[in-house]
Amino acid sequence: MLTMNGIPDLKKKTPGFHQGVTVGYCGCFTTFSSWIYAIVKSSTPDIGAVEFFTGMSMPFIAWLFGNDIGATYVDLTKDSKSRISDKGWYIIDQALVVFPYVFTALLFPLIATQDVFPPASVYASLLSPLGAIPRWISSTYLNSLWPQFPLGTFVANVLAVAFDGILMGAAPGNTFAGYCITGIGGSWSTVSSFVNDTFNLYRKHWEGEYSVAKNKFWVYWYLTVSVGISLAIAAIVHACTK
């Protein structure tokens, strides 16, 4: 039985569901590109500064808070034993993976016909897999290429900012372009993975690196390059489309 401090390790027990929640839901629920453009398009410098420092602090605080909740739960349940067999976990995983597709197929027609949500949210949700899947591919195959720099997440965020910028410049005010910016660009970029990658880098001790300063250099390099290049792209786009 795969366990973590006495409770099932859901990452190993339900890999499909775990990846769907972390990469799919959390990745789409947080959007790096919208934050970048909120900074650049702020009406005044002080509002832009607030956007910047809020985005560079609150997600990290939220990550720490969530991590503490998870650690507390593990500690409180460390003596419990799972009553579900490996086969049972496999069935649960498959059911949880299939459920969103069934739920979406049943819910979206109801939403579209009953005006439960604005059409923009419906279309953006339908388009979101077109952003989430490329992000998953880049993270899966590129993050491992350079352990000191999560290249996959970086590429996804920068490309999403560029994608949004192209649509803003090519089709300003276009309704469908707005759906694509929210749905594809929003789900293509991710704050949650950006924050998680940063903390993973911060906790790593690179082999042969005995200096704390050298170990942490990669953390600040990743933060600076990711945010700096994205802001530069967004600033150029904003200046050209004014």
Average pLDDT over every residue of 85-107? 69
pLDDT digits (tens, 9 = 90+) for 30-70: 889 989 999 998 888 899 999 999 999 999 999 889 888 87
Note the pTM of the prediction, 2 decimals: 0.79
Domain range for 96 is 3-240
Q: What is the pLDDT, as a whole number, of residue 2?
A: 40
For the ranges 73-77, 85-89, 211-215, 238-242, the lowest mean pLDDT is seen at: 211-215
Q: What is the pLDDT, as a whole number, of residue 226?
A: 94
In the structure, what pLDDT confidence band is assigned to residue 11 with cuts at 50, 70 and 90?
Answer: low
pLDDT at 213 over 60: yes
Q: What is the pLDDT, as a whole number, of residue 177?
A: 85
SS (H, E, C) the chain: CCEECCEECHHHHCHHHHHHHHHHHHHHHCCHHHHHHHHHCCCCHHHHHHHHHHHCCHHHHHHHHHHHHHHHHHHHCCCCCCCCCHHHHHHHHHHHHHHHHHHHHHHHHHHHHHCCCCHHHHHHHHHCHHHHHHHHHHHHHHCCCCCCCCHHHHHHHHHHHHHHHHHHHHCCCCHHHHHHHHHHHHHHCCHHHHHHHHHHHHHCCCCCCCCHHHHHHHHHHHHHHHHHHHHHHHHHHHHHCC
In the structure, what pLDDT confidence band is assigned to residue 240 with cuts at 50, 70 and 90?
Answer: confident
pLDDT digits (tens, 9 = 90+) for 163-207: 998 888 877 878 888 888 888 888 899 898 899 888 888 877 655
Structural domain total, the chain: 1
pLDDT at 139 over 80: yes
Side-chain half-sphere CA neighbours of 34 within 13 A: 17
